[in-house]
């Protein structure tokens, strides 16, 4: 890599020639403020917060897009720079709804933090403020343009990373706003509800649709038996909401907190992940043995499923018919568990704690009512669970560890846990399918070829005398690229795992939001996934088909994987959706 020598604030440093001033400054430990900048996603210099002086340049330049060159001298803290940055921030605030105390991003807002750091103590520019209707028609995402600062991070994420592209800038000058075609609601577009726009937003212009009020009401209703289940990715992110390092595992504290909130039963969705593997794995084995349609594609990511319904309806028959884990669990709770406990299913209220905003949409699908009632009644994001814990005044960091409740109890396996990371569903399936197809037990069960944060991973796995070709994609842009190759005949696989969110569930749209500066320094995908795999290795059982509670469920109730009863309760179908 060619290096260049520059000076920043009089300090001589050597940096790669393809760096921007912002990258060079951060390498030198010098903080330049940003708002619109999001590493690898939105690097457009639109907000002007990163202005710096460059010797010999005409006026101030934007550090996030200005390239370094040999002998450059940069100044980041002159009077001219400080005044310019503060003026830019004051102008941004002049057209911003400043209801900070009631904003969902209060105390976790990049604009609010900058106002404090740059010592903005009053509103220098009072004038007309844009007024917008709040778009809350979506079951997953609320869009409030009154708080939008036009940074365009959401646009770049939706368009470049997810290739969904349902939002863009509209109008000019003071009338500019972020919106959908013909001023439609997000709910009237191809939006897949993934919530990656929420994770990208630096302020409170995008946030998840609130479900906490419905859950609090259910907990207060003495006629309801309220059951909660938690997804594997929640345990490696929830701690961040309470000041713990990124990637801290808080499984035991989370279980304790849920019990203290008043849930009648606290279950682990990892059990249903194992159930998914039994059904999905059996479906794959059936296609291999009987000549089914290939490639078979996973269906546990509702954002991906909706994306497929809009953009790749010709692949709907390729999707596994297995429901996502939390929906399977809801169906089991309202059937097997209800019968076992002698509770009328209508009196059971199932809450899923998920890293995913698309699960809110999924829970309302008419196809997911196996018992005549919704499989899942309410979905909380990781962020919403944290809000409930704080509202209940629980000191999360000091809570003791506890386990999950019976009849499923400590039902987690390592295979269920790794569902939270990209490649995890594939690996969990291979652990089971390899042993069922060969009739042998294997000690080496870590399929590292499908791990990692590369956008698309491909591998050929030898199972007995069969070479199984697999692929993994995370982020819908990567999914689109992979499926276009399959559609054109350029690529050929037996099994594909797709997750809507980059990194998989660990960086879902409902996970704790980290500011752009943290994301530039720490790869959230890798840090949270490491915690997932650490938990996998810590568990005594690491294969879905060896879970004793899974065996019990089939022996006592379901009969066999993909049998008549399990098909009725645990499988579903998909629908072609229009392109708007």
pTM summary value: 0.95
Q: Evaluate whether residue 438 is within a structural domain.
A: yes
- Nearest one of 45, 83, 49, 42 to 64, comparing CA atoms: 45
Instruction: Tell me the pLDDT tens digit for each residue of 307-347.
Output: 999 999 999 999 999 999 999 999 999 999 999 999 999 99
On whether residue 30 sits in a domain, the answer given is yes
Active-site residue, 384 included: no
Give the pLDDT score at 289: 87
Confidence of residue 205 (pLDDT cuts 50, 70, 90): very high
**Among residues 352, 505, 544, 566, which one is catalytic?**
505
For residue 407, what pLDDT band results from cuts at 50, 70 and 90?
confident
Of 241, 309, 327, 362, the active-site residue reads: 362
pLDDT confidence of residue 260: 98
| Residue 490 exposed, middle or buried by CB count within 10 Å (0-12, 13-18, 19+) | exposed
Torsion of CA 261, 264, 268, 274, to 10 degrees: -160
The verdict on whether 320 is a catalytic residue reads yes
Res. 128: pLDDT tops 90: no
Known catalytic residue at 556: no
Q: Do 235 and 307 share a domain, yes or no?
A: yes
**pLDDT tens-digit readout, 356-374:** 999 999 999 999 999 999 9
**Spatial distance between the Cα atoms of 240 and 250, rounded to a whole number of angstroms:** 10
If one counts the domains in the chain, the total is 3
Q: Which residues of 368-394 are buried (b: 16+ CB within 10 A; e: fewer)?
A: bebbebbbbbbbbbbbbbbbbbeeeeb
Cβ atoms of 479 and 487 within 8 Å: the answer is no
Q: Is the pLDDT of residue 108 over 90?
A: yes
Scan for tokens 């010999």, then name that residue. 56
> Collapsing DSSP states into helix, strand and coil, what is residue 230?
strand
How many residues in total does the chain contain? 580
Q: Is the pLDDT of residue 379 over 90?
A: yes
Whether residue 184 lies in the annotated active site: no
Has residue 386 got a pLDDT over 90?
yes
Confidence at 187, pLDDT banded by 50, 70, 90: very high
Q: Are residues 189 and 259 in the same domain?
A: no
Average confidence (pLDDT) over 38-64: 96
Q: Please write down the HEC assignment for all residues of 447-509.
A: CHHHCCCCCEEEEEEEECCEEEEEEEEECHHHHHHHHHHHHHCCCCCCEEEEECCCCHHHHCC
pLDDT per position as a tens digit, 210-241? 999 999 999 999 999 999 999 999 999 999 99
* Torsions phi, psi for 425 (to 5 deg): -65, -45
Residue 126, pLDDT > 90, answer no
The contacts of residue 507 (CB under 8 Å, 6+ apart) are: 199, 355, 501, 524, 525, 528
- Tell me if 256 sits within 8 A of 402, measured CB to CB: yes
Q: Which of 43, 188, 341, 367 is catalytic?
A: 367
Same domain, 451 and 557: yes
300 catalytic? Reply is: yes
Q: What is the pLDDT of residues 344-360, one digit of tens each?
A: 999 999 999 999 999 99
Catalytic residue among 209, 265, 334, 359: 359
Do 120 and 150 contact (CB within 8 A), yes or no?
no
DSSP 131: -
Per-residue pLDDT at 437: 87
Determine how many CB atoms are found less than 10 A away from the CB of residue 43: 17
Active-site residue flag, 50: no
Considering the domain architecture, whether residues 270 and 396 belong to the same structural domain is answered as yes
- Of residues 536, 479, 527, 534, the one with CA closest to residue 502: 479
The CATH number linked to 60 is: 3.10.20.740
CATH code at position 150: 3.30.70.20
Q: Which of 36, 191, 201, 300 is catalytic?
A: 300
pLDDT at 411 over 80: no
* Cβ contact 73:6 at 8 Å: yes
Q: Tell me if residue 505 is catalytic.
A: yes
CA 573 to centroid of chain Cα atoms: 23
For residue 44, the model assigns a pLDDT of 96
Are 278 and 561 spatial neighbours (Cβ–Cβ below 8 Å)?
yes
pLDDT at 409 over 80: no
- Give a yes or no: residue 580 inside a domain: no
Position 3 scores a pLDDT of 95
User: What percentage of the chain has pLDDT greater than the value 70?
Assistant: 100
Q: What is the DSSP letter of 117?
A: H
| Structure tokens given for 90 | 């004051």
Secondary structure string (H, E, C) spanning 181-207: HHHCCHHHCCCCCCCHHHHHCCCCCEE
- Selected catalytic residue, list 280, 427, 497, 535: 280
Is residue 482 one of the residues assigned to a domain? yes
Q: What angle do CA 343, 331, 349 make, to 5 degrees?
A: 50
**Residue holding tokens 């006592």?**
556
For the question of residue 128 being annotated catalytic, the response is no
- Is residue 209 a contact partner of residue 490, using CB atoms and an 8 Å limit? no
Given 320, 324, 335, 363, which residue is catalytic?
320
Does residue 290 register a pLDDT over 90? no
520 and 373 in a common domain: yes
Are 164 and 233 contained in the same domain? no
Per-residue pLDDT at 305: 98
Residues 199 and 227 reside in one and the same domain: no
pLDDT score for 464: 84
Which residue range forms the structural domain that includes residue 183? 102-122+129-208
Helix (H, G, I), strand (E, B) or coil at 327: helix
Asked if residue 371 lies in contact with residue 334, where contact means CB atoms within 8 angstroms, the answer is: yes
Q: Has residue 97 been placed in a domain?
A: no
């Amino acid at each position: 890599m060619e290096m260049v020598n520059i000076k920043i604030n009089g300090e001589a440093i050597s940096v790669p020639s393809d760096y921007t001033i912002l990258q060079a400054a951060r390498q030198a430990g010098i903080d330049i403020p940003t708002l619109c900048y999001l590493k690898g996603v939105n690097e457009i210099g639109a907000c002007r917060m990163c202005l710096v002086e460059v010797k010999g340049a005409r006026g101030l330049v934007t550090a996030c897009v200005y390239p370094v060159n040999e002998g450059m001298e940069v100044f980041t803290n002159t009077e001219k720079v400080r005044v310019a940055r503060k003026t830019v921030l004051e102008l941004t605030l002049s057209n911003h709804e400043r209801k900070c105390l009631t904003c969902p991003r209060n105390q976790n807002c990049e604009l609010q933090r900058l106002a404090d750091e740059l010592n903005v103590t009053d509103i220098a520019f009072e004038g007309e403020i844009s007024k917008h209707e709040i778009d809350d028609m979506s079951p997953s995402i609320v869009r409030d343009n009154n708080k939008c600062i036009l940074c365009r991070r959401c646009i770049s994420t939706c368009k470049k990373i997810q290739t969904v592209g349902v939002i863009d800038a509209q109008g000019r000058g003071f009338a500019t706003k972020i919106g959908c075609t013909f001023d439609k609601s997000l709910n009237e577009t191809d939006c897949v509800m993934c919530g990656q726009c929420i994770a990208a937003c630096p302020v409170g212009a995008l946030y998840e649709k609130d479900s906490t009020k419905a859950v609090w009401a259910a907990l207060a209703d003495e006629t309801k038996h309220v059951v909660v289940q938690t997804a594997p990715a929640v345990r490696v992110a929830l701690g961040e909401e309470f000041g713990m390092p990124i990637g801290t595992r808080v499984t035991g504290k989370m279980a304790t907190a849920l019990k203290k909130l008043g849930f009648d039963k606290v279950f682990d969705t990892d059990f249903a992940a194992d159930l998914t593997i039994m059904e999905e794995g059996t479906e794959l084995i059936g296609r291999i043995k009987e000549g089914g349609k290939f490639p078979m594609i996973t269906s546990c990511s509702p954002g991906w499923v909706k994306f497929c319904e809009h953009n790749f309806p010709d692949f709907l028959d390729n999707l596994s018919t297995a429901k996502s884990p939390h929906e399977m669990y809801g169906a089991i709770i309202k059937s097997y568990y209800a019968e076992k406990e002698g509770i009328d299913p209508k009196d059971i209220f199932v809450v899923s704690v998920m890293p995913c905003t698309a699960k809110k949409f999924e829970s309302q699908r008419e196809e997911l009512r196996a018992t005549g009632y919704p499989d899942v009644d309410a979905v909380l994001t990781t962020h919403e669970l944290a809000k409930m814990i704080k509202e209940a005044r629980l000191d999360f960091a000091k809570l003791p560890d506890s386990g999950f409740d019976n009849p499923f109890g400590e039902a987690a396996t390592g295979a269920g846990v790794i569902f939270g990371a990209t490649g995890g569903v594939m690996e969990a399936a291979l652990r089971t399918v390899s042993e069922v197809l060969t009739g042998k037990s294997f000690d080496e069960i870590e399929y590292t070829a499908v791990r990692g944060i590369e956008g698309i991973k491909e591998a050929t796995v030898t199972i007995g005398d069969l070479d199984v070709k697999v692929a993994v994609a995370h982020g819908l842009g990567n999914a689109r690229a992979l499926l276009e190759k399959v559609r054109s005949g350029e690529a050929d696989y037996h099994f594909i795992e797709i997750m809507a969110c980059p990194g998989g569930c660990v960086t879902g749209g409902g996970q704790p939001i980290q500011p752009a500066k943290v994301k530039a320094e720490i790869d959230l995908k890798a840090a949270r996934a490491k915690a997932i795999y650490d938990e996998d290795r810590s568990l005594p059982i690491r294969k879905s088909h060896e879970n004793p509670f899974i065996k019990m469920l089939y022996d006592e109730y379901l009969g066999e994987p993909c049998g008549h009863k399990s098909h009725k309760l645990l499988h579903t179908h998909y629908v072609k959706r229009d392109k708007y």
